[in-house]
Amino acid sequence: SSSGNGSPSFRRKPVIIIVVGMAGSGKTTLMHRLVCHTHLNNIRGYVINLDPAVMTLPYGVNIDVRDTVKYKEVMKQFNLGPNGGILTSLNLFATRFDEVISVIERRADQLDYVLVDTPGQIEIFTWSASGAIITEAFASTFPTVVAYVVDTPRSADPSTFMSNMLYACSILYKTRLPLILTFNKVDVVAHQFALEWMEDFEAFQAAASSDHSYTSTLTQSLSLVLDEFYNNLKSVGVSAVSGVGMEAFFKAVEASADEYMETY
Ligand code: GTP
């Protein structure tokens, strides 16, 4: 299944994993866990940090936006606030992203995965020109998948679940890349309820109808729309803290990479 209909020179490896998630979803902790998992299992990984404003990272990084753009100086120079500073820093980095692609291409034979961490404010990556440019640069060179990190305990609330799924849906349609719903923190709450809601929209509607602040017709329409969306993605339960679900995660990445090779 690795031949696909892409150009014959298109490589199957490394697979680029773009990790995105709402603030507090546990993206940083999960990145750390994924990096540890690759080290412990002789998986050849490469790590890229695209968050210009992060202070410290608990894991080692191979390519770091902070080495190229100094976020605090960008803020001063262009007289920007924090979000404008992050966005402008990412724009500046995006103009030189061909260099990042070249570095990965040179190492391609020695790499299985490239883990990409994105800014803590998700929309800075998902709704910016530079985010689109960077995503496109990856996806036109390597099989690329998106891991959307979900805070599972918080998503046990139907309206939070719905918001989270709509956001994931918008990312799927914007990037058109395989998307893995990565239900994090399953050490606190198992993601079984989410799988049930995704499989059976009536089960979700029943849960949502107990929430009286919710407009039931809107909920019903949206859950019908999302039903189609769910068919297009993979879900996996993980815990960045306990380490559960790492094999399942990488299995979903492999299946998504196969899907990518067949589609693009
Ligand atoms: P940034 O957006 O980069 O700041 O990351 P984040 O806010 O998405 O997540 P971070 O890794 O900082 O985690 C947020 C909180 O969730 C922290 O208190 C973590 O300890 C906690 N957390 C992350 N993953 C898990 C998990 O799998 N289980 C539990 N119980 N807690 C977790």
Lowest mean pLDDT among 1-15, 78-92, 134-148, 237-251: 1-15
What is the phi-psi region of residue 128: left when phi exceeds 0, alpha when psi lies from -120 to 50, beta otherwise? beta
In this prediction, residue 65 carries a pLDDT of: 97
What's the CA-to-centroid distance between 214 and ligand 1, angstroms?
28
Q: Is the CB of 241 under 6 A from ligand 1?
A: yes
CB 7 within 8 A of CB 136: no
Region of residue 185 (left: phi > 0; alpha: psi -120 to 50; beta: else): left
Please tell me if the CB atom of residue 121 comes closer than 6 angstroms to any atom of ligand 1.
no
How far, in Å, from the CA of 165 to the mean position of ligand 1? Answer: 19
The protein residue whose alpha carbon is closest to atom 22 in ligand 1 is 26
- The alpha carbon dihedral of 71, 75, 81, 83 has a sign of negative
Residue with tokens 């815990």: 239
What average pLDDT does this structure show over 35-61? Answer: 96
Distance 26 CA to ligand 1 centre (A): 3
CA angle (101, 104, 106) in 5-degree steps: 110
Q: Say how many Å lie between the CA of residue 30 and the centre of ligand 1.
A: 7
Give Cβ neighbours of residue 168 (< 8 Å, ≥ 6 apart): 148, 150, 179, 181, 229, 233
Q: Is 57 in the pocket of ligand 1 (CB under 6 A)?
A: no
Token pair, residue 106, equals 């040179």
Q: Which of 8, 22, 38, 257 is nearest to 139 (CA)?
A: 257
Ligand 1 centroid to residue 150 C-alpha, Å = 10
Query: Which 3 state secondary structure label does DSSP give 236?
Result: strand
Q: 207-244 burial, b if ≥16 CB within 10 A, otherwise e?
A: bbeeeeeeeeeebbebbeebeebbeebbbbbbbbeeee
3 state DSSP class of 156: coil
Tell me which H or E stretch contains 150: strand 144-151
Stronger pLDDT, 109 or 223, i.e. the higher one:
109
What DSSP string runs through 237-260?
E--TTT-TTHHHHHHHHHHHHHHH
7-35 per-position pLDDT tens digit: 445 677 899 999 999 999 999 999 999 99
CA-closest candidate to residue 69, choices 19, 119, 136: 119
User: pTM of this prediction?
Assistant: 0.94
Q: Judge if the beta carbon of residue 23 lies within 6 A of ligand 1.
A: yes
Ligand 1 lined by 27 (C-beta under 6 Å): yes
Position in ligand 1 atom list of the atom nearest CA 28: 11
- Predicted confidence (pLDDT) at residue 124 exceeds the cutoff of 80: yes
Q: 192: how many CB neighbours lie within 10 A of its CB?
A: 12
CA dist., res. 234 & res. 230, Å (int): 8
CA 95 to chain centre: 22
How many Cα atoms sit within 13 Å of 64 on the Cβ side?
13
Quote the pLDDT of residue 10.
67
Say whether pLDDT at 222 is over 90: no
